[in-house]
Amino acid sequence: MSSRPAFTISALTVPESIDAPDAAEFIGFAAVRYAVIAELRGDTSPLPAPEVAAAELLPNWRDEGNTSLGLVATVDGRVVGRGNVVLPADGAECWAAVAVLPEHRGAGIGSALYRGLERIAVDAGRRIIQNQTDFPAGIGGDSLPAPTGYGSVPLGLASTRFALRFGFSLEQVGRLSGFSLPGDSDLMAAHLSESSAAASGYRTVTWQGRTPEDWVDAIALMRTRMSTDTPNAGIEMSDVWTAERVRAVDDLWEASPRTILTTIAVHESTGEPAGFTELDVPAEHDRPVEQMDTLVLAGHRGRRLGMLLKLTNLRELSARFPHSAEVQTMNAEDNRHMLDVNEAVGFRPLAYSARWKKVVG
């Protein structure tokens, strides 16, 4: 009876660029990440080429506001599993993730990767480890309900069993939704007109790529508030942005094959920022656009600014990137307000995520 080939776990080398001589391992790492996420979500969209996947991922790894450390599992010199931990500059928490290609599961690779990540987290002084696992819609059987009262996670999933075995508790369930572009033009026009009327006294500003200097401080404020002003249940969040970090990350993203499209709402009488939304657009037309952060600051809520921001940015997306076919977005199941906005314009459920937490010290 033949045995499985031996695997090796080692620290990930993060290259200066994808063209660097030592980039091969990171390219393999990124390819595993994208392939496993798509598999777990049931996403049949084309995967990016390995070099493109790595180029898209690299800016996050060079962001000094969040330290990212990785492990790779290799078999016969090929990367077959990856693990990474993200250590925010402030806070007691970190985020960890493990992924193994299907044909190499059941050999202990995932467990070895996780144990290595937990050691890294503890050595870095973190007492909370958090994780997100994905699963497609429509899975039946027994489930574990989220403590928020919104959503549940199938108990039969390998990822659920893995998280529970290592002592994680379920904190929140998220929903991945999809929107087919360009959408129902009459419906979107009606919602845009209604939200514009409700948001009298506000204007929107849209840009593509790096943040205009006039709005750097505003973006730093609103990205920081994403940690405190959105429904996070028992998940710990401490992602602090400064103007310097916004500029530095913009520098990194200028080398990425993806493009960020941003719309903000501004209170006209004071000039204060009121909210923002961001779309992350891939270079390939057959891959989905990712809806990233959307936030309306607490003092400006109740004026349909969330709808105004989202529809304005979707309109700009269709105008600037007319070949884009779909937008995907992740929201907490207990974030009913944002789900109402999404559903009203035609977003539909595609998959779900479980957000887990473990206290280690």
CATH (domain of 80): 3.40.630.30
What confidence category does residue 215 fall into, taking pLDDT thresholds of 50, 70 and 90? very high
* CA dist., res. 260 & res. 73, Å (int): 32
Residue 56 and residue 198 in one domain: no
Amino acid at 15: P
Structure-token match 């779309």, residue found? 279
**CB contact burial 23-50 (16+ within 10 A = b; e otherwise):** bbbbbbbbbbbbbbbeebbebebebbeb
What confidence category does residue 1 fall into, taking pLDDT thresholds of 50, 70 and 90? very low
| Beta pairing partners, 356 | 131, 170
Cα of 30 vs its chain's centroid, Å: 15
Helix extents (H) in the chain = 24-41, 50-61, 109-123, 158-165, 185-198, 216-225, 243-253, 305-320, 336-345
* CA dist., res. 220 & res. 216, Å (int): 6
Domain that holds residue 52: 8-126
Tens-place pLDDT, residues 220-268: 999 999 887 787 888 888 888 999 999 999 999 998 999 999 999 999 9
* CA dist., res. 175 & res. 152, Å (int): 11
pLDDT at 3: 65
Residue 120 and residue 202 in one domain: no
Within a domain: 137: no
Within a domain: 276: yes
Residue 301 is given by DSSP the state -
Within a domain: 169: no
* Closest listed residue to residue 287, CA positions, set 250, 315, 325, 249: 325
Tens-place pLDDT, residues 156-212: 999 999 999 999 999 999 999 999 999 999 999 999 999 999 999 999 999 999 999
